[in-house]
């Protein structure tokens, strides 16, 4: 798995468990659960066994080995309205404190915060205010809301606008809470259908709110050419060597493209646990560098040189594809 970092960051290295399938270990299928509601209070089950230095799968744990964690909701969007109406989300990667506000909306170089060249992405993230090379808004909206479902839609760039949009093959959308909502520790969850196709790369993930990288938590990434293949990964940096490490697992959710499922991560002071339909599926001892609040990102990229089984877009890639999202929520751990 690759980091969705700014261009020029270090090449990621495999974790120590790669030789036994750390980065691609097919998991069990999970039945669809009735999890449509995001209650204000939530209790999750986590493993209590001692953690080693690397990540591990949680294989059919004995209920007696689990402990309950109580949480209360701190962020919620069930997408009954357009996501850009209430300032909860930004539609681009945030810049630094000296980044001119106008640079988000158009002109030469305005694509810098609207894709990650490092990843080989072939889309540009747009919104109705964005003008590409021009300073006049193009009115392109990749966000559609219907019956409480947000669709982030990727579509081939209209030929007449391709030059204005820096010759990107697709237009698509990203939503981020950087500078608007961030939290240290807690549970972060998306309920969504995972789109598929050549070059299709949906993701729900987190980065440090102070702009540093890593840490990075990839709560859910879809491998577009492997329907039902969901990958969950943690990224961190070794201070002594400055080398970036990662460790994670793939899980098979056969109906992920057609049915809504919950994908989440519980970040505690000592461990990070990944969940599918609120069942723990893997965990890792919290690596170094996770001492800052993190913010949430959800996006639909097109094309990748870093994530296996996504690939570059070609003639077989869908002309239009939607990442359907029912809700996104965050919870904080209750004080004992």
The residues carrying an active-site annotation are: 216, 221
Calculate the alpha carbon distances from 196 to 174, 221, 222 in Å: 17, 11, 8
CB 77 within 8 A of CB 83: yes
Joined tokens for residue 150: 């947000």
Asked if residue 202 lies in contact with residue 300, where contact means CB atoms within 8 angstroms, the answer is yes
CA distance linking residue 250 with residue 8, whole number of Å: 27
Q: What are the CA-CA distances from residue 176 to residues 67, 195, 208 (Å)? A: 32, 20, 12
**Paired sense of beta strands 41-47 and 186-192, if any:** unpaired
Taking the C-alpha atoms of residue 125 and residue 68, their distance in angstroms, rounded to an integer, is: 40
**Count of residues making up the chain:** 336
DSSP state of 80: S
Encoding tokens for residue 331?
């919870």
């Amino acid at each position: 798995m690759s980091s969705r970092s700014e261009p020029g960051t270090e090449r990621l290295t495999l974790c120590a468990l790669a030789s036994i399938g750390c980065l691609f270990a097919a998991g069990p299928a999970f039945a669809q659960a009735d999890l449509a509601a995001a209650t204000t209070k939530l209790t999750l089950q986590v493993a209590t066994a001692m953690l080693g230095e690397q990540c591990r799968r949680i294989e059919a744990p004995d209920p007696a080995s689990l402990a309950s964690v109580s949480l209360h909701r701190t962020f919620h969007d069930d997408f009954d309205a357009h996501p850009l109406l209430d300032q909860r989300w930004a539609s681009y990667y945030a810049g630094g404190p000296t980044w001119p506000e106008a640079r988000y909306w158009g002109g030469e170089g305005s694509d810098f915060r609207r894709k990650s060249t490092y990843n080989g992405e072939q889309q540009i993230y747009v919104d109705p205010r964005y003008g590409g090379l021009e300073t006049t808004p193009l009115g392109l909206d990749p966000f559609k809301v219907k019956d409480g479902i947000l669709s982030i839609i990727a579509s081939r760039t209209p030929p007449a606008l391709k030059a204005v949009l820096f010759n990107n093959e697709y237009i698509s959308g990203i939503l981020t809470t950087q500078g608007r909502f961030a939290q240290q520790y807690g549970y972060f969850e998306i309920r969504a259908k995972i789109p598929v196709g050549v070059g299709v790369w949906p993701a729900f993930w987190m980065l440090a709110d102070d702009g540093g990288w890593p840490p990075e938590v990839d709560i859910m990434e879809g491998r577009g050419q492997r329907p039902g293949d969901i990958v969950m990964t943690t990224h961190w940096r070794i201070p002594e060597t400055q080398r970036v490490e990662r460790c994670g697992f793939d899980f098979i959710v056969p109906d992920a493209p057609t049915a809504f499922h919950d994908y989440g991560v519980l970040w505690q002071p000592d461990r990070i646990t990944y969940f599918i339909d609120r069942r723990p599926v893997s965990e890792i001892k919290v690596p170094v560098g996770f001492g800052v609040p993190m913010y949430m990102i959800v996006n639909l990229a097109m094309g990748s040189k870093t994530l296996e089984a996504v690939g570059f877009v070609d003639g077989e890639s869908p002309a239009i594809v939607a990442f359907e999202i029912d809700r996104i929520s965050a919870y904080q751990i209750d004080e004992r």
